[in-house]
Amino acid sequence: MKLSLAGRSLLLFGLSIALLVARTLFESALAGMPPGAERLVTFLLLVLPAAIGTVLGVMSLVRKEGRAWLAVTGMALNALFALFHIIILLFAG
């Protein structure tokens, strides 16, 4: 079964949530890392998949694959998730 771009966008949102849970559970392992390395890990695990999911949602809308509501939902959820974690990285570290 071939997944549409909107489906992949929602799949990446689910992956982002799973990575957030995993990062939260193993937070104590990151305690000895320098702050810059911890920010990089956070960016790669949380922001990057959500940003890619947002782009996939936009591409699905541009290509008019059908089920626009699915693309808009994936795009909105991924964008909010990515923006939230970017703000955390910028202000809290």
> Which residue type, as a one-letter code, is found at position 61?
L
Range of the domain at 28: 5-91
- What is the pLDDT, as a whole number, of residue 1? 60
Closest C-alpha to 50, from 25, 87, 91: 87
Q: Of 90 and 67, which is predicted with more confidence? A: 90
The pTM of this model reads: 0.87
- Using an 8 Å Cβ cutoff, are 49 and 19 in contact? yes
Q: Is the pLDDT of residue 77 over 80?
A: yes
| Number of structural domains the chain divides into | 1
